[in-house]
Structure 1
Amino acid sequence: MFDSEVQRILDFVARGIGVRVVGAPGSGKTAVVNSVIANLEKTGVSVHFISGMRTHRGIPYSAIKGLGLDLRPGRNGVFDLADVFAAQLAKPGKHLMVADDIHLVDNESLAVLEAVRRRSDCPLVATAPETWAFSKGQLAVLNQGREAHMQLDPLHYEQVHMLIAQVLGAPADAEATARILTKSAGNPRLIVRIAETASMSDLLVLRDKQWRMTSHTLWNEHLRGTLEALLAELTAEEFTALHIMAILGTARIDILQKVISAEILENLERRGFLSVMNDHHGGAIAAISPPVIADYFRGAKMLRDRHLLRSKIAGILETAPQVTGENSSTTDCLTQLLAELRLEKGDDDAVTARHIHDHNAARERARFERWEGNKTAANAVALLRTYWGAPVNIQRAVRVCAETTTADADPSDLLFLTITEAMLAIHTGQGPGAAVEILRSLSAAHPEHETEVANAVLFLSASHGRVQPTGGHHPEGSDPQPGMRNLVSGLLELYRLRPEAAVKAVEGDGDEDAFTHLRPFIRGFAMFAAGRVDESLVFALEWRAEARKNLDQFGIVTSSYIAAHGLLYRGNFEEAEYLMSSVFAMGRPGFVVDSLYDAMLRLAGLRHATNVVSPAFSIAAQAREDVHDIGPLPGIGKGAYELIAHSSAQPATFDRKATKLVKRQLKSGYVLEAMMTALLCTCLCPGRPVLELLQKILRECGIAVHDKLLAIAAAVVEGDHQLLGLLLKHYEPDPDTYQIGMLLRGALKRHVIEGDSVAADALAQASSMFAVRFPSANEQLSFNTFRTTPLTEREIEVAVLAGHRSNVEIGEHLGISARTVENHISNALRKTGATSRNSLFMLVGNSLPPR
């Protein structure tokens, strides 16, 4: 789980720099340090390990004597121990000191460490809580020599998915993963304990190779010891404060301060037990973090205390909603928005998800009770509208559709109710045919709705089957529902890859749209389809920020889908994966946007699908499998992901499968999906058949923004290296810069597999020159070509360094001889078919996790 963090620490230590690793209790500090120790000991480094213990911090010299120093009788003072320890560090070879939980090391041992650090330049790796107020003795040890700082942030959705799979031996489904993330707040220790104890308690069961929940909760008595250890350092006042917050639930800060002192709240926040964020009314709200602590208090048998606390806080809860203003959108703030997104990565996905869950649950409950009291169409629409974005209660939704009184219903409410019933039929597995029949029954009973029904049928048929080959056809007649006809037209034009026509169809503010989020979705994704990637990103990220503030899950999912495409297209994988992770943390959404949720699961699994990670454990395995290979928008159909995840090492086989898939997408009228599939396949493994289809699609749709990419791809496929050199020499950055780098790397790997050493060397040189002109910190997505001829871990490490270091430098970095480095490189060249060190470096440059 911490490969990149471990590698960073190893790099620092190799340069003689110490590292301070900080994080919350259970964040994985000790696991990271143990992995560092194991890696270093393999290379012959002498590691001197000291561990602080809560029960030993009052025992003099307990930590330092754990080293087993050879002391002379009667020589047990600070400087005596320091002399012996310093002498060990002075022995030939490389040395490293490790102090795990340095905040728990006794003062006498700290004094020895301070004396040793004054005499030795041996680096120190230390771990401590992120919010710890260090004593003077601890700082005296830490602040000697050069030191790097590493923060272990909470895990995000995809990391949680992988950790559960490692712990339980199989992945969990989306609902279970989201629940474990929400309850643990991304804390690795809690994730492991919740998963293990839930499986022990049969709250998680293995069905269809995935762990699934059998109850609405994962709390069980086996978790009690873990929570007691987590809360062990709290004072009595802090413990009581958490109990009060468990009773109150998510509450505003000004309300909490009436029953809990500001000092206690500040202490809890500093220690990570309190999360504070702005709510959708513009105020500050707080909740217990990790949320499983609230379950601990609610499940405790402290009825008398609970009664007293309830009496103490009676009448406290109140609300004072405020109106928030709207933020204006701009097209020149992408850098700022990306910076804000990166800052958001340090926040807690679980807390945001829980606020949205609480908001959705309260709204759904209130609207359902209102409908039960008066089963009018207006009350039914108010309830069903929540299910378009928030998790759907199938039983309630079906009941509302069946029992609602439609007499004297407003035409717009009747239409919305019927369309929702039709979509619900698709969601429950009855199929598009049943949905169309539901809509047509409305048209038969209410002829005045014939036009709207025809548009709705057109939308459902196109989204779940095929798009009509010609655009612009709509039933004649007036449309009393403003924007309905235009929205359908815009969406179909988007499917057909006519972005300008799609944007034109949805012009206007759409204040009276029946489907409020469809107009901005079409507008934002049309900008992306037209190649205006940065504009699309600005639009989507600002929309997402507004939706998060309003706790609008529908808006979060739809805006995140657009933003994820833009970030992936730019190569911003870390930002894209975090953004999608924040969506997955909320759990599966309502039935209208669940297809976008599945699409993002497949998008998030693309990077793993191209490397050594087993696709079976990829996050994409959580997406529903009972869908078609093709779909109206990229990722909704599973075909493209399946093609890449299960691709053969033979380029010709990949070409044949990719060509067949793109042609099927075109036949169904999903031109946008076909273009994106052809573009991705061309960049991953450039071949003539797919490139010709891509050229034809873009030419027929009149899209010229990718002309430079097409010209370079044609030169690569035709083997015209002279023309390729000229095109790359005169190339200026455009939206396809990242794709061109991917294309060159993909071509290089293809030539290596095919055994064309001349072409491979030419592509390696071209790729290196392009990387020098347009350096990027982003990882290049490309197929791992070592599935059939795997390199050893050491061979991959050497190959990664072979592009920019000599054998002697590599040997010093890895702690091996230059002759051993030469042997590793020779073996790697033989296994891969690469003809030079540079080719080898380009081949394996993305085989390790990004550093």
Structure 2
Amino acid sequence: MFDSEVQRILDFVARGIGVRVVGAPGSGKTTVLRSVMSNLEKAGVSVHFISGLRTHRSIPYAAIKGLGLDVRPGRSGVLDIADVFSSQLAKAGKHLLVVDDLHLVDSESLAVLEAVRRRSDCPMVATAPETWVFSRGQLAVLNNGREAHLQLDPLHYEQVHFLIAQVLGAPADANTTARILTKSAGNPRLIVRIAETASLSNLLVLKDQQWTMSADSLWNEHLRGTLEALLAELTPDEFTALHIMAILGTARVDVLHKVIHADALEGLERRGFLSVLADNHNGSIAAISPPVIADYFRGSKKLRDRKLLRSKVAGLLEAAPHGVPEQYPSSDSLSRVLASLRLERGDDDAITSRQIQEHNAERERIRFERWQDNKTAANAAAFLRIYWGAPVDLERASRVCAETTDADADPRDLLFVTITEAMLAIHTGRGPRAAVDILQKFAVNNPHLQAEAEDAILFLSSSHGRVPLDVAKVARTVENPEAGMGGLVQGLLELYRFKPAAALQAVDGAGDDDAFLHLRPFVRSFALFAAGRVEESLVLALDWRAEARRNLDLFGVVTSSYVAAHGLLYRGHFEEAEYLMSSVFAMGRPGLVVDSLYDAMLRLAGLRHVTTAIVPALSIAAQARTEVADVGPLPGIGKGAYELVAKYNTQPSSFDRASAKLIRRQLKSGYAFEAMMTALLCTCLCPGKPALDLLQKIMRNSGLAIHDQLIAIASAVVEGDHKLLGLLLKHYEPDADTYQIGMLLRGALKRHVIEGDARAADAMAQASSIFAVRFPSANEQLSFNAFRSTPLTEREIEVAILAGHRTNVEIAEQLGISARTVENHISNALRKSGATSRNSLFMLVGNSLPPR
């Protein structure tokens, strides 16, 4: 779980640099520390461990005496103990000083540590809360010598998925993972406790090899002790403030100031128990973090206290929000939106997710009650619109579709209700045929809406079957411009067919009267991506996503995130893409229209794992629905491409046959955009003639030249023309495919190694190295791991990773082994992998471990 953090600390310590590890209570600081100690002790380093304890803070020398120093009787002063400790650190060999929970160490022990650190250059690794205000004594110990700072951030969705599987022995489904992430705010200790206690309380049940929720809540009494320990440091005022906030729920800051003293709110925010966010009224709202704390207070049996507190806050929730002028960015640039996305990573996914969930739940309740009072098509459309993005209550949705009256109804509302009913038919497993029947019956009963009904039929049948061969023959002038259907459907179908210019032309215009508000920006931003204008697509999608988050619009968040994820992955921004998708997964499985996009992002997130893991297991893609077709209208919606990559068995010839078969099926269905992306991915991962020929054919048919340089380089690679390849790489002009070309060269290297072609492998390793020097990238290159049949040992992979840029002596010094042992490991790795040089070995296994 913390491999990259542990490795960073080990690298710092190897260079004699101390590390301060900070994070919230339960963030994994002690776990990281124990792993570091275990690694160093195995390497022969003497580790001196001191632990601060809350109950020992007032006991003199309690922490330092835990070392068991041999102090002579009568000489137990600060300097006497420091003399003994310093002499231990001066012994031959490498030493490391480790202090867990420095903020809980007693003053006398701190004095000893300060004296020791002044006399010794031994590095120190210490842990402390991220928001702690250190005393002078604590700072005197910390600020002594070189020190690095390591922040342990909350876990994101995929990490939570893995952790639950480790704790419970099997993965959880998407909704359960999202709920645990939301309740824990990504805190590892709380994730483990919630999962364990929920399974003990039968709130989680194992179904089809996945844990799923058996009730609406995961709160249980077994969690009480964990929460009491978490809140142990709070003052009485802060404790009462949390109780009030649990009653209020998510509330505006100006409301909280009326019932809670400002000092208490500031104390909670400093300790990390309060998250402040911008709301959709351009004000500020605050919520308890982690949200499970609110469940702790709401589950309290002290009813009298709760009544008193409720009377204290009565009537405050209806106060009008203060208006704050909205500020718009002055420039649209990739650097700006990426900087905003990276800044957002510091926010709390759980709080944002809960904010959107509560907003949708409240809207659903109000609109359903309004429909119950007056069952008009307008009220039904307003209610059902929520289910296009938010999770669906099938019983309510079916009832609204069945009982809504169409008297004096707006045609736009009637159409929306009928399309939603058709989508429900698909969602419940009745299939596209049933959906088409519903729309055809509607067209017969409403002749004035026949044109719009036919557009909707075209939209559904094309999205769940195949695209008509000639979209122009089915495209018509929209008879009712108010409905806004014809142009949007035509644009979407052109996107399916990989005709981005035609798609952009079809959705040109503001679209203020669109029946489906998010379809126009979706087609526009994804068509820009398909046309090779990746930066423009990213800027548009990320700006759209930021606006949707501000408006608590789940539909907009999911659709914009899907487009942005493709752009980020295409440019190699894996960390940003994984955060962005994780933030969507944290909101739980969404509604009718975007459910398929949610599954597509699960497969995209799992794609990196299955290409780099030695033994792919617990992939997040397992949470995606499996009862879908292998081909889909857009990349990732069909499961075929993911399963092709996941089942790769190190035989390039079999991969070539399977990939070509899948791409032809995608083309046969008319999904040329998906076919192009699959052919491009397969060509870069494992360059072969079948996929490359199909990619060239698709690009010729599209009339686009956006991948010409990549295709030329791929052709030279596949044909084995290394002289031409060198010339093409030498004269290569950077374009949108720079990252993909790096993938292509690495994939070719691994293919040659697997096939045993040492000459070609060395030539490709050289070409890849030259290209990497000319176009350095901080991003990890995605490529197949080549060691599924003859895996290297963990130590051999570790040595191979370092062999590309360090000598045997340097590797031996870092790992705490002899240079002869390093040489043996490299020899074994070369023999097992088939690589013929240190450089090709490094290139071959360069991404087999998590990025550092």
TM-score (norm 1): 0.99
Provide the C-alpha distance between the structure 2 equivalents of 1:820 and 1:443, rounded to a whole number of angstroms. Answer: 77
Aligned-partner residue type, residue 770 of structure 1: F
Superposed, 1:821-840 pairs within 5 Å as 821-840=822-841
The residue aligned with 1:549 is 550
Q: Which moved more, 1:786-795 or 1:605-614?
A: 605-614
The residue aligned with 1:696 is 697
The residue aligned with 1:128 is 128
Correspondence 1:511 to 2:508: no
Correspondence 1:664 to 2:640: no
Q: Which moved more, 1:594-603 or 1:446-455?
A: 446-455
Correspondence 1:675 to 2:676: yes
Provide the C-alpha distance between the structure 2 equivalents of 1:511 and 1:803, rounded to a whole number of angstroms. Answer: 56
Q: Which moved more, 1:615-624 or 1:349-358?
A: 615-624
Which string of whole-angstrom CA distances, capped at 9 and with x for unpartnered residues, describes residues 444-491 of structure 1?
Answer: 111112111111111111000001111212265752144311011000
Displacement of 1:71: 2.0
The residue aligned with 1:787 is 788
Displacement of 1:613: 6.0
Provide the C-alpha distance between the structure 2 equivalents of 1:763 and 1:280, rounded to a whole number of angstroms. Answer: 53
The residue aligned with 1:203 is 203
The residue aligned with 1:650 is 651
27 and 208 in structure 1: CA distance in 2 versus 1, 3 angstrom threshold: same
Which string of whole-angstrom CA distances, capped at 9 and with x for unpartnered residues, describes residues 486-529 of structure 1?
Answer: 01100000000000000000111111110010000000000000
Superposed, 1:614-763 pairs within 5 Å as 614-763=615-764
Provide the C-alpha distance between the structure 1 equivalents of 2:593 and 2:323, rounded to a whole number of angstroms. Answer: 28
456 and 66 in structure 1: CA distance in 2 versus 1, 3 angstrom threshold: same
Measured on the aligned residues, the alpha-carbon RMSD in Å equals 1.2
Contact 2:605-2:620 within 8 A present in 1 as well: yes
Provide the C-alpha distance between the structure 2 equivalents of 1:712 and 1:747, rounded to a whole number of angstroms. Answer: 11
Contact 2:558-2:584 within 8 A present in 1 as well: yes
Q: Which moved more, 1:472-481 or 1:110-119?
A: 472-481
Correspondence 1:233 to 2:236: no
Displacement of 1:756: 0.2
Aligned-partner residue type, residue 743 of structure 2: M
423 and 31 in structure 1: CA distance in 2 versus 1, 3 angstrom threshold: same
Contact 2:496-2:670 within 8 A present in 1 as well: yes
Contact 1:662-1:678 within 8 A present in 2 as well: yes
Provide the C-alpha distance between the structure 2 equivalents of 1:44 and 1:808, rounded to a whole number of angstroms. Answer: 17
Which string of whole-angstrom CA distances, capped at 9 and with x for unpartnered residues, describes residues 161-188 of structure 1?
Answer: 1110111111100100000000000000
Contact 1:329-1:542 within 8 A present in 2 as well: no
Displacement of 1:592: 0.8
Superposed, 1:89-488 pairs within 5 Å as 89-321=89-321, 332-474=332-474, 479-482=479-482, 483-488=484-489
Which string of whole-angstrom CA distances, capped at 9 and with x for unpartnered residues, describes residues 342-370 of structure 1?
Answer: 11111100000011011111111000000
Provide the C-alpha distance between the structure 2 equivalents of 1:187 and 1:599, rounded to a whole number of angstroms. Answer: 27
Aligned-partner residue type, residue 359 of structure 1: H
Provide the C-alpha distance between the structure 1 equivalents of 2:755 and 2:398, rounded to a whole number of angstroms. Answer: 57
SS at match of 2:724: helix
The residue aligned with 2:577 is 576
Provide the C-alpha distance between the structure 2 equivalents of 1:453 and 1:322, rounded to a whole number of angstroms. Answer: 44
476 and 749 in structure 1: CA distance in 2 versus 1, 3 angstrom threshold: closer
Which string of whole-angstrom CA distances, capped at 9 and with x for unpartnered residues, describes residues 524-581 of structure 1?
Answer: 0000000000000000000000000000000000000000000000000000000000
The residue aligned with 2:525 is 524
Which string of whole-angstrom CA distances, capped at 9 and with x for unpartnered residues, describes residues 42-84 of structure 1?
Answer: 1111111101111111111111111111222222111111111
Aligned-partner residue type, residue 820 of structure 2: R
The residue aligned with 2:499 is 498
SS at match of 2:93: coil
Contact 1:377-1:409 within 8 A present in 2 as well: yes
Superposed, 1:567-606 pairs within 5 Å as 567-606=568-607
Contact 2:477-2:486 within 8 A present in 1 as well: no
456 and 331 in structure 1: CA distance in 2 versus 1, 3 angstrom threshold: farther
Aligned-partner residue type, residue 419 of structure 2: I
Gaps of 5+ in 2: none
Provide the C-alpha distance between the structure 1 equivalents of 2:309 and 2:327, rounded to a whole number of angstroms. Answer: 41
Contact 1:803-1:841 within 8 A present in 2 as well: yes
Provide the C-alpha distance between the structure 2 equivalents of 1:373 and 1:74, rounded to a whole number of angstroms. Answer: 86
327 and 259 in structure 1: CA distance in 2 versus 1, 3 angstrom threshold: closer
Identity of aligned residues (%): 77
Provide the C-alpha distance between the structure 2 equivalents of 1:310 and 1:722, rounded to a whole number of angstroms. Answer: 79
Q: Which moved more, 1:802-811 or 1:349-358?
A: 802-811
Aligned-partner residue type, residue 409 of structure 1: A
Displacement of 1:158: 0.7
Provide the C-alpha distance between the structure 2 equivalents of 1:61 and 1:468, rounded to a whole number of angstroms. Answer: 80
Aligned-partner residue type, residue 681 of structure 1: C
Displacement of 1:646: 1.1
Contact 1:452-1:481 within 8 A present in 2 as well: no
The residue aligned with 1:16 is 16
Q: Which moved more, 1:12-21 or 1:726-735?
A: 726-735
Displacement of 1:245: 0.3
Contact 1:331-1:538 within 8 A present in 2 as well: no
Aligned-partner residue type, residue 357 of structure 1: Q
Contact 1:665-1:674 within 8 A present in 2 as well: yes
Provide the C-alpha distance between the structure 2 equivalents of 1:332 and 1:379, rounded to a whole number of angstroms. Answer: 38
Contact 2:799-2:826 within 8 A present in 1 as well: yes
Displacement of 1:320: 2.6
Contact 2:611-2:785 within 8 A present in 1 as well: yes
Gaps of 5+ in 1: none
Contact 2:614-2:791 within 8 A present in 1 as well: no
Displacement of 1:321: 4.9
Contact 1:155-1:186 within 8 A present in 2 as well: yes
